Amino acid sequence: SLTLDEPQQTSQKVKSKNLDVLAEHAKAGRKNAASFVVIGHVDHGKSTLMGRLLYDLKVVDQRSLDKYRKEATSIGKSSFALAWVMDSTAEERERGVTVDIATNNFETEKTKFTILDAPGHRDFIPNMIAGASQADFAVLVIDAGTNSFEAGLKGQTREHAQLVRSMGVQRIIVAINKMDSINWAQDRFEEIQQQISAFLTTTGFQSKNIAFIPCSGLTGENVVTPAPEKAAAWYTKTSSPQTLVQALEAHEPTKAALSSPLRIPISDIFRGGVQNPLSISGRIEAGSCQVGDSLIAMPANESCSIKGIEIDNAPADWAVAGQIVTLHLTEIDPVHLRIADLLCDARKPVPNIRSFTTKILAFEHVLPMTVDVHRGRMHVPGRIASMVCVLDKSTGNVLKKKPRVVQPGSVARVTVELDTAVPLEVPGRIVLRSGGNTVAAGLLEEVHA
Ligand code: GDP
């Protein structure tokens, strides 16, 4: 028989209210949630722009900003003060800043945002890839200054835009930054807009998914506060969205994302609570759920059910794609759950697969080799088993069949075999790494049991 200090098994399934969750969502007016990645050439002002955004949204206060400025000055980089906002530490959180900057979460009136990487960090590309593999959209920062734009287009502007597109990001907000440095010149803005537009559409972005915002991260125009009319009369009168924050808020989860089967990658597991002996947290990638729902945890292939849902520490009856939730689970032994596992709709779980075909963008030479396959926080060892073909970047036509090696910067189709079966489905975004380096990023095209 049980002694008192043994954990109690809460095995009772909670009865479902059988809500029409999408209808509830439509009328609830809950905040949307969205995540994005910030890309662009070095020094085009990514960190400053994000710092300005957080400062003007009052996510960071003047005192913290002064502190960053001091620290920045002490290493001879005073102009980076705003940029340092992005690197803030646990101290700020302890002092009760309302938003957790360390994980880069902030919210506006309409939306809760997650910035999926901290620009300015040294190993930017790997961070960005991890971020891009989960991003709802990208913010591309471009320095409008003479020559800088052109230099960027030869450099990381091009590379980053291709990267996020190849990772499945469909929507992009182009912040044409440092407009203060060119006196808000309309013709310059339009010239850049036209060139970037042409480039992005050949990269595979649809024009309806591209927005342009002229702004200045340093002085703050059109970030949160609209630019005064005298600075940019040509822009302010007709433009919607006008500011960066309005463009960010324009993102809403698609109907498709809401109505697909539930997918929640587990980012944390909590055990031993008195009321709730087993809880997980994570961001709902697709679908919706409600209390009482049956789920399947993969790769364990074990069923469980939702006993309770919390959003922002408050109980909720339901949750939808984009939201970050805590789920209290019952009817499962905790040994079956690990961080990075996937909780799925029990009627339509993601099967474990042993191999897949993927369209990759290569960052290094790709040849038959061992790789670690990453999807979000999940990773599993495997190997590139066959080199199918090299593809034309813009048309997708086959350039060469069965290449022996794929050159960095090229797009190719390869098949990968996994050492252990894991839940992956089309059109998942994956990253291939080897020896600590990112070798390629790709989109799944076919999966095999
Ligand atoms: P990152 O490498 O893209 O993150 O760029 P930073 O944010 O570190 O900025 C690079 C440099 O550009 C710094 O010296 C900034 O002060 C400067 N800068 C950033 N935004 C602006 C802007 O809107 N206007 C002007 N004039 N300078 C800016």
Distance CA 115, CA 180 (A): 25
What integer pLDDT is reported at residue 93 of this predicted model?
Answer: 33
Token pair listed for 442: 């790709």
**Residues 390 and 398: beta-carbon distance below 8 Å:** yes
- Report whether residue 180 contacts ligand 1, using a CB cutoff of 6 Å: yes
Instruction: Tell me which of 39, 77, 148, 218 to substitute to probe ligand 1's pocket, judged by most ligand atoms within 8 Å of the beta carbon.
Output: 218
Q: Which residue out of 39, 42, 43 has the highest number of ligand 1 atoms within 8 Å of its CB and is therefore the one to mutate?
A: 43
Name the burial class of residue 294, with classes exposed (0-12), middle (13-18) and buried (19+) by CB atoms within 10 angstroms of its CB: middle
Tell how far the Cα of 157 is from the centroid of ligand 1, in angstroms: 15
Ligand 1 atom with least separation from CA of 219:
23
How, if at all, do strands 105-107 and 111-115 pair?
antiparallel
- What pTM does this model have? 0.76
Pocket flag, ligand 1, residue 80 (CB < 6 Å): yes
Is the CB–ligand 1 distance for residue 126 below 6 Å?
A: no
Of the CA atoms within 13 Å of residue 337, those in its CB half-sphere come to: 29
Q: Is the CB of 48 under 6 A from ligand 1?
A: yes
- CB of 53 sitting under 6 A from ligand 1: no
317 close to ligand 1 (CB < 6 Angstrom): no
What are the φ and ψ backbone dihedral angles of 330, each rounded to 5 degrees? -135, 175
186-203 vs 229-236: helix crossing angle, rounded to 10: 40
Residue 336 neighbours by CB under 8 Å, 6+ apart: 297, 300, 302
CA 392 to ligand 1 centroid distance, Å: 35
ipTM of this model? 0.99
The CB of 253 under 6 Å from ligand 1? The reply is no
Compute, in angstroms, the gap from residue 77 CA to the centroid of ligand 1. Answer: 11
Which residue is closest in CA terms to ligand 1's atom 9?
A: 45
For ligand 1, the distance from its centroid to the CA atom of residue 80, given in whole angstroms, is 7
- Name the token pair of 369: 């080799």
pLDDT of residue 21: 94
Of all atoms in ligand 1, which is nearest to the CA of residue 44?
Answer: 3
Atom of ligand 1 nearest to the CA of 79: 16
415 φψ region: left (φ > 0), alpha (ψ -120 to 50), beta (else): beta
Task: Evaluate: CB of 181 within 6 angstroms of ligand 1.
Answer: yes
Q: Is 47 in the pocket of ligand 1 (CB under 6 A)?
A: yes
Tell which one of 48, 79, 143, 182 to mutate to probe ligand 1, the residue whose CB is within 8 A of the most ligand atoms. 48
- Please give the pLDDT value at position 106: 84
Specify the residue with its C-alpha closest to ligand 1, atom 18.
Answer: 45
119 alpha carbon – ligand 1 mean position (Å): 12
Ligand 1 mean position, distance from CA 43 (Å): 6
The rounded average pLDDT for each run of 10 residues, N- to C-terminus, in the chain (449 residues) is 47 85 88 86 85 83 67 52 47 34 69 69 54 83 89 80 83 96 94 94 91 94 89 75 93 85 93 91 93 97 97 93 92 94 97 97 93 88 98 89 94 97 92 84 92
Q: Is the CB of 243 under 6 A from ligand 1?
A: no
Q: Where are the beta strands (DSSP E) in 165-241?
A: 171-177, 210-214
Please tell me the distance between residue 236's alpha carbon and the centre of ligand 1 in angstroms: 23
* CA of 48 relative to ligand 1 center, distance in Å: 6
Whether ligand 1 lies within 6 angstroms of the CB of 188 is answered as: no
221 Cβ closer than 6 Å to some ligand 1 atom: no
CA–centroid distance, 7 to ligand 1, in Å, is 55
The H-or-E segment that residue 188 falls in is: helix 186-203
